Structures are given as C-alpha cells and as structure tokens.
Structure 1
Amino acid sequence: MSLTSSPAAPRVPPPALREFGYWLHRYRRTWRGTVVVSVANPLLFLAAMGAGLGKLVNQGGSDYLHGTPYLHFFAPGLLAAAAMQNAFVDSAGPVFQSTRARGNYRAAAATPMRPSDIFAGHLLFMAMRVASGALAFLLVATVAGAVPWERSLLLLPVATLVGCAFAAPLAAWAVTVTQFTRINGVFRFVLLPLYMFSGTFYSPDQLPGWLHAVVMATPLYHGIQLCRSIALSTASAGPTTVHLLYLVAMATAGVLIGRRTYTRHLHG
C-alpha cells in the first residue's frame, strides 16, 4: 500500500492584496496618463517657482528666509503639497467612479471580499502612488541641489504619510458621494486654498494672526512644516512630534471612518 501526498493548495493572497493587485493591474494600462499630473506638474512648478522666482526672492533678501535660498525653502513645501494633490487625484475621483459609475466596488463586494478589504487594498494602492510620485520629485530635487540626498531618504516616508493623511479621509468621504460636482467643489474650495495658504510658497508667519491660527489647524500646514524642517535640518523634537501625531491621527481617523462608510455603502 503506497501513500501519496495530496498536492499543496495554491497560496491565495489576502483579500486586501487582491484588491491592491486589481488596481495595480489597471494602473499598468493607464500610468502614462497620470505622469503629467502626479510627476511632471510638480517638477515644472519647482523649476519655474523655485529656480525662476527664487532668483528674484534671493536678490530681494527676504527676512523670513534667514539666508536660506528660496529653492531650498520652496522644494520641501511643494513636496508636501504635491503629496496632497496626488492623494486627491488617486482617492476622491476613483472611489466615486468605482462606487457609482464603473461598479467594480459593487462587483468586489459581491464576492467573499469584505468592504474593509476593498478599502484597505485601494488605500494601499493610493499610498503606493503617493510614494512613487514623491520619489520621482525627490530624485529631481536632489539632482537640482534643492534637497540634500541624505534628507531625501527621510522625506520619502514623510511625504507618503502626508498623502495618506489626505487619501484615507477623502476615500472614506468619496464612497458616500452621489454627485461628482461635490468632488470638484472640494478641490476648488478646500484643496486649492490649502495649497495657497498653508505655507507652500512662503512662511505662514507672514499671514495675519487669525488666518495664521486657522492655517495651523490644517493637515497640509503640518506636512509642510515637517518636510521643511527635515530638509533644512531645523527639526526639533517637540514640533516634529506634534506634526507626526497630527498626520498619523488624520490617517487613522480616515481608516476608521472609511471602514464604516465602505461597509454601509457597499453592503447597504
């Protein structure tokens, strides 16, 4: 009597990784169309504002720069702002389309995959997109001399955290949206003001007192200040801890809320 072992069952990746694989497969066909928005635009902006306008600012001698070249001041702020922009592009619109138009969320929810798995897999893809955009930005910024290479190694995970602090809450909200005009409204009336007033182009200390207080409560402000302090080697334990805790809290809150909104709207 011979004993034969049954063939081993094929390994099945966790549900969240299967959802991530779905988005990665889609991205292989569409990545060219996203390069301009997520990579080229910030890099062109860095060249125009940092190198072009920066020469005029350096010649004028701004007190709040304390002798720092404007390109060095501007680059880490733009890195954080670009992470926010990329997070919006890869979260709000795609989540809305997946829920209302294409229906791929509904199709995935009809399988044993849980809504929380769908959310986690898509959020993992969003984080990957933010990280890849930040990596491309940092490579160019380092070559241009805007960011020291050893600081770039620290800035990459920080920029990814900034993106996740926006992507998770945006995805948690977007799955509930029924009209795309609301997505556009958030971009125009929330993200653009954050882009302009959170310290990307100048120090928030230049703002009036009441507006400065409002800006300090925004997530992009904390992302910019954290990236800038690391890039300029001015980071200290207290402010760095506050910035990190704020961004982690935003991302965590987005994940917790997203698990509930995805469950309610995909299994409702």
Structure 2
Amino acid sequence: MTRTSEVDTMSRSTGRALGTVRAALIVVEGLWTWYKRNWRATVVSSVVQPVLFLLALGFGLGSQVEPGEATGGLRYVVYLAPALLVATSVQIAAFESTYPVLSAFKWQQTYLAIAASPISPAQILAGQLSWIAIRLVTSGAAYLVVAAALGTLTGPGVLLTLVVAVLTGMSFAAPVVAYAATLESEGQQFNALFRFVVMPMTLFAGAFFPVEQLPAWLRPLAWVTPIWHGTEVGRDAAFGTLAWLPALGHVTFLVAVTGAGVWYAVRSFRRRLAL
C-alpha cells in the first residue's frame, strides 16, 4: 500500500478530513502522474511556440525596428523577450483552465472520484490551481533558458519577471477555472474565450508594442487585462527600471483578480461536487 493510500484509509477510518496542503499535494501528485506520461503533447505550446515567436518577431521583423523611445532604447528582441514570457504564461493558463477542468468534471470525472474521498472540493481546487502554477513556473523557466542562450535577456531581473508571469497567469486561470466549473458542455464557449479574449489580449495589451500606440478609445480595454499589468511590471523588472509604487498598483490588481477568481471557483466547485 502506498503512503497516499495509507493516509486516505486512515482519514476514512477516523472520519477526519485531510489538511489542505496534504490534500492539494495528493491532487497534484495525480496530475503529475498523468503529465509525466503525456508531457510531449504540451512542449510545442509551452516552450517551442514562444521561442518561435521570439525568433520570428524579435530577430526577424524586429531587425527592421530601430531602437527608440517605444522600445526604451533597446533592441526590439530584448524589448519583446520578457513580454513574451508573460503572454505565454497567460496562454498556458488559459488552456490548463478550460478543457482539462471540464474533462475532470464531465468526461473523465476524476474530480467526482476525488470528492468521494476525504478531500473536499476546495482542496481539489487548491490542487488544480497549484498544478497550473507549477506548469507556469517550469514552462517559464525553460523559455528563459532558451532566451538567455539567444542573448535576449538583460540581467537577473528576469527571475522576478518569471514570478510576475506566474502571478499574471494565475490571475487569468482562477476566474477561468471557476467559469469552466459551471459548464456542462464546452460548446462554443472555450472557442470564444480563446478567439475573443486570449488572442486579442495577447496582441493588443502591450506585449508587442506600447499600449500608447493604440487609439485612445481602445487603451482602457488594454488597461483592464492581466497581460498589460504583468507586462508593465515584468519589463521593468527585467530591465532594472522597476518603480515600486506603479509596480504595487499592478501587482495589487493581479492579486485582487486572482483572489476574486479563487472565491468564485470555490463556490463553483462546491456546488458542482455536492455529494
């Protein structure tokens, strides 16, 4: 009998629920068991795709962009590198928060099986969100290794950018997980999310060019997106130009959105997994 099975058996016999940390780690362990057999399917979207964007837009198109005020006097590829880390984090978070979550409720029904154990719906959610955060950290670290090899990073500040990227991804993941938990079928909802939220946010929220280049009426839409806040802080951290007061405002926004998403997700998981 494994250690996990022993703990579960003991919890059932005593009638006591598992602690939140232990329960979340068990959920993460289950997700890792699946992932280590299927990780190859995610390599392209998690690492290869952002690197290709960096090569094509940074070294390709970016070679035609002269360093100037818009890029902070830096080469375009250097200007782009930290922003791609943030944007990719949101894209990975969007995928991990949609189909896998709905599948665990409807098709594979793994959440239902876990909820029959001493693990509560809120603890299942904690494990799922922890797993998404782990995915963001590992994918982001792999991207930074390649970006460093290409000479596009300016210093150790990019490690703080990685932290910001993970927070930005989680600020998007938490509300989307909550939304996915309310669906009975994916229908066109997820397609609409990727086409009309994730993609426009990636393109127009400051990752590829300053938001100030947008028409004035469009800028407020960019200002309320996680990518804009994450990109602003992430770039400043990477370039060593971080101003603490604006950074605090950006981080507060991201934390607040994450917290609201977690609150909504707890309610959604409890309602969906009520046994």
Q: What are the within-5 Å matches in structure 2 for residues 67-82 of structure 1?
A: 67-82=73-88
Q: What are the within-5 Å matches in structure 2 for residues 128-139 of structure 1?
A: 128-139=134-145
Report the alpha carbon displacement of residue 266 of structure 1 after superposing the two structures with TM.
Answer: 1.2
In the alignment, is the contact (CA less than 8 A) between 2:101 and 2:180 conserved in 1? Answer: yes
Count of matched residue pairs = 258
Q: What are the within-5 Å matches in structure 2 for residues 55-134 of structure 1?
A: 55-58=63-66, 62-134=68-140
1:171 and 1:225 map into 2 onto residues whose CA distance is 25
Local SS of the residue matching 2:208:
coil
Report the alpha carbon displacement of residue 126 of structure 1 after superposing the two structures with TM.
Answer: 0.5
1:21 and 1:228 map into 2 onto residues whose CA distance is 34
Q: 1:50 aligns with which of 58, 61, 81?
A: 58
**Unpaired segments ≥5 residues, structure 2:** 1-5, 9-17
Q: 1:35 aligns with which of 39, 43, 49?
A: 43
Report the alpha carbon displacement of residue 179 of structure 1 after superposing the two structures with TM.
Answer: 2.2
**172-181 or 197-206, which moves further after superposition?**
172-181
Aligned partner of 2:31 in structure 1 is 23
- Answering whether residue 240 of structure 2 is matched by residue 224 of structure 1, we say no
1:169 and 1:97 map into 2 onto residues whose CA distance is 17
1:139-177 CA distance string (max 9 Å, x none): 111222211341122122111111111111111111111
Local SS of the residue matching 1:210:
coil
Report the alpha carbon displacement of residue 11 of structure 1 after superposing the two structures with TM.
Answer: 6.0
Aligned partner of 2:183 in structure 1 is 177
Structure 1 consecutive aligned stretches of length 4 or more whose deviation exceeds 4 Å: 10-13
Aligned partner of 1:148 in structure 2 is 154
1:25 and 1:148 map into 2 onto residues whose CA distance is 36
In the alignment, is the contact (CA less than 8 A) between 1:142 and 1:152 conserved in 2? Answer: no
In the alignment, is the contact (CA less than 8 A) between 2:50 and 2:84 conserved in 1? Answer: yes
- Answering whether residue 191 of structure 2 is matched by residue 194 of structure 1, we say no
| Closer, same or farther: CA 119–216 of 1 in aligned 2, 3 Å | same
- Answering whether residue 165 of structure 2 is matched by residue 159 of structure 1, we say yes
Report the alpha carbon displacement of residue 31 of structure 1 after superposing the two structures with TM.
Answer: 0.4
1:209-268 CA distance string (max 9 Å, x none): 111122111111101111111112221111101111111111111111111110001116
Aligned-partner residue type, residue 38 of structure 1: S
TM-score (norm 2): 0.89
Aligned-partner residue type, residue 212 of structure 2: D
2:203 and 2:212 map into 1 onto residues whose CA distance is 14
1:238 and 1:83 map into 2 onto residues whose CA distance is 24
Larger Rg: 1
Local SS of the residue matching 2:261:
helix
In the alignment, is the contact (CA less than 8 A) between 1:142 and 1:149 conserved in 2? Answer: no
| Closer, same or farther: CA 68–149 of 1 in aligned 2, 3 Å | closer
